[in-house]
Amino acid sequence: MRVRDVFLSGIGVHLPDKVESIDSAVTRGLFPADEVEARGYTGALVAGETPPPEMALNAARDALKNGGVSPQDLAALLYAGVWHQGPDGWGPQYYLQRHLVGDELLAVEIRHGCNGTFSGIELAVGILRSAPENRAALVTASDNFGTRLFRRWDSGAQNSVMGDGAAAVVLTKDQGFARLLSVCTASYSELEEADRAGEPLFPPGITEGRVLDYKTRYAAYGRKLLAENIGPELLVEHARRNTDCLNRALAEAEVTADDIKRVLIHNVGKGDAATYLNDLGFPMEMSAWDYGAGIGHIGAGDHLISLHHLLRTGQLQPGDHVLLAGMSPGVTYKAAVVKILDVPSWA
């Protein structure tokens, strides 16, 4: 999607004070000692008993304040999360409606894995364009992985260590600190089985008390591919669709890879991050992965948290182009390009 008429006016984050070290996780038997170097993590943010909606509320308040936008100016609230947000049968977006933005807007929870923020931004563009009076939209992402049915340190999801936290961004039609130039989506549903292999579709594992275990699922899928001798073709197509999404985002933004100052990706394990960036044609040094390695993979919030960090630490200047790219179960591929117009006062 080619975009020129939507801006980022404010980003807010909520990051827990507690950081648990990888050494502590190894000592407690939660992380394999022989994989510390390969995965590269040094620690993860741990929110304790803080609910995801409460963290999202804090991040949203900061985003609105930093963007100079009133809750009454919002046309939509789009809430992304990866893990469970609260009581089953209840929507976390309503918590933010009650405590911050009110009822006179569309409020929707987005369940699109770690790419949920991208999807929220893409939907927000359409909402803002749909009516002249729609001036601003809020996208939030929040997760707390500290539950007994999730292995924070070794779930197997792209060799990630999962951190807790929240991020929010306000998108407006009015001038902001950055202009959204493009946001693109691609998918490859042929690979959807990879993230569920070996488990029944019903009843859901969470209702049976099963721990989420991507390692076992990936192993089961690998055995199937080996038996059917179809793995190489799928991987080639997987890589092609990923790079096609990136190239489309660059083309629609009317920039080239040489114009990109920084590349923001999910805070996945070091090996996976390096391979992913290499497939896209960028070195690790252009990412913010070193920062992410100290806080963990925070679900759908990684890109906003990294962008906030780069702005706060003076690593971005007016005129810089930033590429945001991600991949999540489905498989879905996302890419977006933003141009920094100004270093905001809150940075």
The alpha-helical segments, DSSP class H, found in 184-328 are: 214-228, 231-253, 270-280, 289-292, 302-312
**Which pair of tokens denotes residue 43?**
């620690």
Write down the pLDDT at residue 231. Answer: 79
On average, the pLDDT of the chain sits at 96
Write down the pLDDT at residue 230. Answer: 85
**Which pair of tokens denotes residue 199?**
């488990």
Is the pTM here over 0.75, yes or no?
yes
Neighbours of 175 (CB within 10 A): 10
Q: Please report which confidence band the pLDDT of residue 347 belongs to, taking 50, 70 and 90 as the band edges.
A: confident
Q: Please report which confidence band the pLDDT of residue 176 belongs to, taking 50, 70 and 90 as the band edges.
A: very high
CA distance 287 to 260: 11
Note the Cα 238 to chain centre separation in Å: 20
Asked whether the predicted pLDDT for residue 302 surpasses 90, the reply is yes
CATH architecture label of 181-292+316-340: 3-Layer(aba) Sandwich (3.40)
Tell the burial category of 284 from Cβ atoms under 10 Å away from its Cβ (0-12, 13-18, 19+). Answer: middle
Domain ranges of the chain: 2-177, 181-292+316-340
Homologous superfamily, domain 2-177? Thiolase/Chalcone synthase (3.40.47.10)
Neighbours of 221 (CB within 10 A): 18
Write down the pLDDT at residue 22. Answer: 96
Q: Which residues of 313-339 are buried (b: 16+ CB within 10 A; e: fewer)?
A: eeebeeebbbbbbbbbbbbbbbbbbbb
Q: Which residues contact 222 (CB under 8 A, 6 or more apart)?
A: 231
**Which pair of tokens denotes residue 281?**
């044609």
At 27-39, the pLDDT tens digits run 999 999 999 999 9
CA distance 43 to 20: 5
Write down the pLDDT at residue 98. Answer: 97
Write down the pLDDT at residue 261. Answer: 98
2-177 and 181-292+316-340 agree in CATH topology: yes
At 239-274, the pLDDT tens digits run 999 999 999 999 999 999 999 999 999 999 999 999
Q: Please report which confidence band the pLDDT of residue 159 belongs to, taking 50, 70 and 90 as the band edges.
A: confident
Residue-by-residue DSSP string for 90-136? --THHHHIIIII-SSSEEEEE--GGGHHHHHHHHHHHHHHH-TT--E
Q: Which residues of 58-77 are buried (b: 16+ CB within 10 A; e: fewer)?
A: bbbbbbbebbbbebebbbbb
